[in-house]
A = this chain, B = another copy of it.
Amino acid sequence: MRVGLDVGGSKTEGVAVASDGSIIARVRRNTGWGPDAVVETILGVVADLGAQLGADASGAASLDLGDTVASALGVQVRVDNDVRAAALGAAVLRGGSGSIAYLNLGTGIAAGIVTGPEAGHGARRQAEPGTVWRGARGAAGEVGHISVDPAGPVCRCGQRGCIEALAGGAALAERWGRPGTHPVGDIFEAAEAGDPLALTLRGELARGVAAAVRILVLTTDVETVILGGGLTALGARLHDDVRRELEAVAEASVFLRSLALAERVELLAPGSPAAAFGAALAGAPEEGVLIHG
């Protein structure tokens, strides 16, 4: 059995995965505020998973998150990047053997890449469902900070026209500037009512996501791009906008049309525990894995 946790700013999700890869327990708790409360949340989620499985987990804890939790639980713990973990989880939950990119549309934008057996040749063995592409210095998948428009809005990273400045939740909320707990949902509704700023922002969201999809496919040629993260709560409206934008750009280009990009984009099923599941898969058996953003 392996346990994976996705420790987010508001929610912490945990799953227990059997040796055959099936999810046998799943728990969700609000994440406490501050280091001690975060550790307490994690221990609580692990205890809840244990209770669901009739097993026992106890201990109490103060932040090197990994070490603290490891000593409290008495198991090995590895802390990893949430988007990469979610990419692995999304690839396995989706099934199939093809390569995927998981494009996380949240406050910020980043991707995780999981290669399928077709990606390489040579000395490669592919006994596992997929291999997470890590890169040399941990920057793999940072497509949010690629500029696609030198005249675009300034990004929090300092560049102009980054994909994240066009399509990141925080950037959209800031440019929208009106009160509300779900600013991107509000933008979609106001756009439907004809609000000019909302129409612009909704268009830029689609433009930014479509640019990320093209960059991912034209660089790594993954078979499928799976959209996930908070913004995918917009569901079919977001998916349709992105598909339309990909088709509109491909209209002008025989080369892009040949890649059939609009057909290669999928939405992660809402509520899917992709990050926690991927964290469990990434660990060695009997090693708990905690992930952070």
Which A positions have Cβ atoms within 8 angstroms of B?
98-99, 111, 113, 115-116, 118-128, 130-143, 145-151, 155, 157-160, 211, 214-223, 249, 252-256, 259
Contact = CB atoms under 8 A, between A and B. Distances in A.
A259 B136 CA distance: 11
A135 B119 contact: yes
Contacts of A219: 111, 113, 140-143, 146, 215-216, 219-220
Nearest to A214: B146
A113 B96 CA distance: 24
B131 A123 contact: yes
Identical copies of this chain, number: 2
Nearest to A144: B218
- Tell me the interface secondary structure of chain A in the complex: loop
Contact of A126 (B123, B252, B254): B123
A147 B148 contact: yes
Contact of A145 (B120, B125, B133, B253): B253
Contacts of A256: 145, 157-159
B134 A123 contact: no
B252 A98 contact: no
A125 B123 contact: yes
